[in-house]
């Protein structure tokens, strides 16, 4: 089953001069697939990921996630869609420093408002357990180590059982031990929980071990 | 946007406020200081205004009817050359009598008017008060003392003696406190009164009153109408002024104009007569509001700055919230709620500070000197100004918070998330 599909996506940058970053990208991602997006810096892989993430709406072509056409929707509709269907892991953890680990994980679920607060808390604890950081749940998020914080960020990305997790260099800021840890978590999520993951990376080893490696160059997909 | 989303925004705002208590308190103090000073200033200024208005009102009639001296009058030339441009240089005032003709009938008509509480026909004249070697300029009012009491509550203003003494004592005189002090006169002393025409009469001081305002207490004294008519060597129908008190003071201007055309004598309402006082009131109000407004604007800029800084520091948080599905309006609410809480709590604290300051000011001794009799600052505790204070404070903070909050809602998450 295809969870994400694009049809000939083109995108231009206008500053300082008109420049085509993405050239007719056709991409399909299957459910439960661990896809990595690689390429030299400046090849447009991050740009593509932000288009796929629905945060960037300035493109030509069609984007469909979980059978829903997303091209042409308003910012608020897209925000609500992201809340329910997409989880994010970035190079930096972007946890809210004033909130506890548990609260950070709960926030997207509180926004979604599908479960009661008690249920949300139980689900957040469950996700933290999967990632092996349940014992830190009540701590201030800023008190954790870098690897732990990134795992909290992954738990936060998982809280609403999203159709896709999108990662922009999710291991870019981690040492080799934690990189391995995060990779193993991703692997387990895809194989064990049928979680779809799209990760932009320049870590060749990381990409090689993923299920589906897509290489980009000069705004085109060169190897699928 | 649902109330649920709003509650979530409030929750996040609450965590933000409590996680940086020092910054929150500094922002609140700005508002507190502004509102506190506003309350203290307004209380003192309106207290002063009310006080001056009060004593002016108790000492001046709502409407005063008298014969106006006409400086310019049509010259005989106008009759001779009606179509010409006539001009008479240095025209001298005509020798007019101050008398109001048919004063008793006019008073009767006025008393019959349903808008009127009471009227007091009287005779007034410039006089010299002689006591020993001292000679002082002043005015004497010949009144029916009971009518005058009805208008100005003279009984409560008596410092020595009783007003009834005047009824039983034909040549009695009730003197202003300041005047008595200058002449060094006490009850029972006799004072010689001289009119501009040179007539003299010796009167006995039977009472001393104090209105509380220098321009009256230092020059005026009351005697019986017949006594003053006698000094002026005029007959019993000689009346120079009619003072009127109305049921509703605000009708004075309209009523005065009506009577002026009806009786053909000058009818002056209290607003015109006390225009200098009222101008003072207006100027004090302008100053009060200008200063308070400035204070609040400064507080507003403080909040604007702090919120702007907060938002700058929270760019990453805002970006991730938006990535995770928070709408622009949710983000805006998070920061609007913060500024409104700062505004509301700051304003309420300001009211407490303002009330305390007002209380301290009202206890501070203040010597009004000869001009007005005052030993403490008059302070107004009208709750109206406290409501205005809160509304002002919250509005300013809402405006100051709106601009940065809107900026936060417009932040493009991609720029921040992929920047590194």
Average pLDDT value for residue range B147-155: 85
Dmax over CA atoms of chain B, in Å, equals 105
Residues 6+ apart with CB under 8 A from B361: B40, B43, B44, B377, B379
CA–CA distance from B180 to each of A52, B60, B220 (Å)?
97, 21, 10
Find the residue in A nearest to B420 (Cα): A91
- Tell whether B316 is within 8 A of chain A (Cβ): yes
Count residue pairs from A and B with Cβ separation < 8 A: 70
Does B94 have pLDDT greater than 80?
no
The pLDDT value recorded for residue B250 is 84
B283 touching A (Cβ < 8 Å): no
3-class secondary structure, B214: helix
Query: Does B420 have pLDDT greater than 60?
Result: no
Quick check: B212 and B153 in contact, CB under 8 A?
A: no
By Cβ distance, the residue of B16, B413, B418 closest to A98 is B16
Q: Is any Cβ of chain A less than 8 angstroms from the Cβ of B76? A: no
**pLDDT tens digits along A64-92:** 998 889 988 998 899 999 999 999 998 88
Q: Pick from A96, A99, A116, A158 the residue to mutate for testing the B interface (most B CBs within 10 Å).
A: A96
Length of chain B: 420
Nearest CA to CA, how far is A192 from chain B (Å)?
A: 24
What value does the mean pLDDT take over residues A201-213?
Answer: 87
Residue B44 belongs to what H/E stretch? helix B21-59
A93 touches B at CB < 8 Å = no
Q: Measured between beta carbons, which residues in chain B are less than 8 angstroms from residue A110?
A: 8
Contact at CB, A88 and B324, closer than 8 angstroms: yes
Residue B299 burial (10 A CB sphere; 0-12, 13-18, 19+): buried
What is the reported pLDDT for B128? 93
Q: Is B1 a residue whose pLDDT tops 60?
A: no
Mean pLDDT over A40-67 rounds to: 90
SS3 B75: coil
Distance (Å, rounded) from C-alpha A9 to C-alpha A171? 27
Residue B263's pLDDT band, with cuts at 50, 70 and 90, is confident
Chain A residues with CB-CB distance to B324 below 8 A: 82-83, 88, 107-108, 111, 156
| Mean pLDDT of chain A, nearest integer | 90
Please write down the HEC assignment for all residues of B95-149.
CCCCCCCCHHHHHHHHHHCCCEEEEEEEEEEEEEEEECCEEEEEEEEEECHHHHH
Question: pLDDT digit string (tens) for B343-387?
Answer: 899 999 999 999 999 999 988 888 766 666 677 888 888 899 899
Confidence of residue B71 (pLDDT cuts 50, 70, 90): low
Cβ separation of A94 and B317 shorter than 8 Å? yes
| Mean per-residue pLDDT, A88-97 | 90
Backbone phi, psi, residue B97, to 5°: -85, 150
Query: For the ranges A206-220, B77-91, B215-229, which has the lowest average pLDDT?
Result: B77-91
Query: Is B326's CB within 8 Å of A96's CB?
Result: no
Q: Do A82 and B316 touch (CB under 8 A)?
A: no
**Average of per-residue pLDDT across A197-214:** 88
Select the residue from B325, B329, B338, B416 to test the A interface by mutation, using most A Cβ atoms within 10 A.
B325
Identify the band that residue A103 occupies on the pLDDT scale cut at 50, 70 and 90.
very high
pLDDT digits (tens, 9 = 90+) for B10-64: 999 998 889 888 888 988 888 898 889 888 988 888 888 888 777 777 777 888 8
Contact residues, chain A, for B323 at CB < 8 Å = 53, 55, 82, 88
Residue of A nearest to B13 (CA): A98
- Mean of the per-residue pLDDT values for chain B? 86
pLDDT of residue B321: 92
pLDDT in tens, A34-49: 999 998 888 888 899 9
User: In this predicted structure, what is the pLDDT of residue B33?
Assistant: 87
Q: What is the pLDDT of residue B70?
A: 66
Record the tokens describing residue A88, joined without a space: 């994010």
Interface test with A, best of B324, B334, B414 (most A CBs within 10 A): B324
Q: Which chain A residues are Cβ-neighbours of B16 within 8 angstroms?
A: 98
Q: Domain ranges in chain A?
A: 34-39+73-223
Distance CA B77, CA B87 (A): 9
Average pLDDT (B194-203) is: 90
Long-range contacts of A67-70 (CB under 8 A, 24+ apart): none
Q: What is the mean pLDDT of residues B160-182?
A: 90
Considering CB atoms only, which of A79, A84, A94 is closest to B327?
A: A79
CB contact under 8 A, A112 and B8: no
Q: Identify the band that residue B202 occupies on the pLDDT scale cut at 50, 70 and 90.
A: very high
Q: How far is CA A72 from CA A3, A4, A23, A78, A180, in A?
A: 19, 16, 19, 9, 39
What is the second-level CATH architecture of the domain A34-39+73-223? 3-Layer(aba) Sandwich (3.40)
pLDDT category of residue B193 using cuts at 50, 70 and 90? very high
3-state secondary structure of B180: helix
**Per-residue model confidence as pLDDT tens digits over B277-301:** 778 888 888 888 888 788 778 877 8
Report the residue from B12, B323, B326 with minimal CB separation from A55: B323
Q: Which residues of B touch A15 (CB under 8 A)?
A: none
82-121 of B, contacting A, C-beta below 8 A: none
Separation CA B57–CA B48 (nearest Å): 14
User: Among partner residues A88, A98, A113, which is closest to B323 by beta-carbon distance?
Assistant: A88
Closest-CA residue of chain B to A96: B317
Q: What angle do CA A118, A124, A128 make, to 5 degrees?
A: 145
**Between residues 335 and 374 of chain B, which touch chain A (CB distance below 8 Å)?**
none
């Amino acid at each position: 089953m295809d969870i994400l599909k694009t049809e000939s996506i083109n995108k231009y940058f206008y500053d300082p001069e008109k420049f085509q970053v993405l050239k007719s990208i056709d991409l399909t991602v299957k459910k439960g697939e661990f896809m990595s997006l690689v390429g030299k810096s400046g090849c447009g892989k991050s740009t593509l990921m932000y288009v796929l993430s629905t945060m960037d709406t300035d493109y030509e072509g069609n984007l469909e996630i979980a059978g829903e056409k997303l091209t042409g929707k308003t910012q608020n509709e897209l925000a609500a869609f992201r809340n329910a269907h997409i989880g994010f892991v970035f190079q930096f953890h972007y946890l809210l420093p004033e909130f506890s680990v548990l609260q950070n994980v709960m926030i997207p679920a509180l926004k979604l408002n599908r479960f009661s607060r008690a249920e949300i808390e139980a689900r957040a604890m469950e996700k933290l357990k999967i990632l092996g950081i349940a014992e830190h749940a009540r701590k201030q998020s800023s008190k954790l180590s870098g690897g732990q914080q990134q795992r909290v960020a992954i738990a936060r990305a998982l809280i609403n059982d999203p159709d896709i997790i999108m990662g922009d260099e999710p291991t870019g800021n981690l040492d080799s031990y934690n990189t391995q840890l995060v990779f193993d978590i991703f692997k387990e999520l895809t194989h064990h929980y049928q979680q779809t993951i799209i990760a932009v990376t320049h870590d060749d080893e990381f990409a090689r071990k993923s299920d589906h490696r897509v290489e980009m160059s000069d705004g085109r997909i060169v190897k699928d | 946007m649902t109330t649920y989303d709003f509650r979530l925004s409030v929750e996040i705002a609450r965590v933000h406020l409590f996680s940086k208590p020092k910054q929150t308190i500094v922002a609140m103090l700005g508002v507190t200081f502004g509102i506190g000073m506003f309350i203290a200033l307004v209380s003192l200024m309106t207290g002063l205004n009310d006080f001056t208005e009060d004593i002016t009102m108790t000492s001046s009639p709502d409407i005063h009817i008298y014969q106006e001296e006409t400086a310019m009058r049509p010259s005989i030339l106008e009759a001779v050359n009606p179509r010409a441009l006539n001009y008479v240089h240095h025209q001298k005032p005509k020798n007019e009598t101050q008398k109001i003709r048919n004063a008793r009938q006019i008073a009767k008509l006025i008393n019959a008017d349903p808008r009127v509480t009471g009227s007091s026909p009287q005779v007034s004249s410039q006089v010299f008060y002689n006591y020993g070697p001292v000679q002082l300029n002043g005015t004497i009012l010949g009144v029916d003392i009971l009518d005058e009491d009805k208008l100005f509550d003279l009984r409560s203003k008596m410092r020595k003696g009783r007003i009834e003494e005047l009824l039983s004592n034909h040549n009695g005189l009730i003197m202003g406190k300041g005047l008595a002090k200058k002449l060094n006169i006490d009850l029972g002393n006799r004072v010689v009164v001289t009119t501009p025409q040179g007539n003299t009469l010796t009167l006995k001081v039977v009472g001393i009153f104090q209105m509380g305002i220098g321009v009256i207490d230092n020059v005026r004294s009351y005697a019986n109408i017949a006594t003053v008519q006698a000094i002026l060597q005029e007959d019993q129908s000689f009346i120079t002024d009619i003072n009127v008190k109305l049921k509703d003071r605000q009708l004075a201007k309209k009523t005065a104009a009506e009577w002026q055309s009806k009786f053909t004598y000058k009818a002056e309402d209290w607003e015109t007569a006390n225009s200098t006082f009222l101008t003072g009131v207006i100027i004090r109000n302008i100053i009060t509001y200008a200063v308070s407004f400035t204070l609040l604007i400064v507080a507003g800029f403080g909040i604007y700055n702090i919120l702007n800084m907060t938002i700058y520091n929270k760019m990453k948080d805002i970006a991730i919230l938006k990535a995770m599905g928070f709408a622009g309006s949710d983000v805006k609410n998070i920061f609007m709620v913060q500024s409104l809480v700062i505004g509301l709590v700051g304003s309420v604290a300001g009211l407490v500070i303002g009330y305390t300051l007002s209380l301290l000011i009202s206890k501070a001794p203040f010597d009004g000197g000869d001009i007005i009799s005052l030993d403490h600052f008059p302070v107004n505790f009208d709750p109206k100004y406290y409501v205005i204070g809160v509304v002002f404070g919250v509005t300013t903070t809402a405006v100051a918070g709106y601009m940065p909050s809107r900026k936060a809602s417009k932040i493009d998450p991609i720029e921040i998330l992929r920047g590194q």
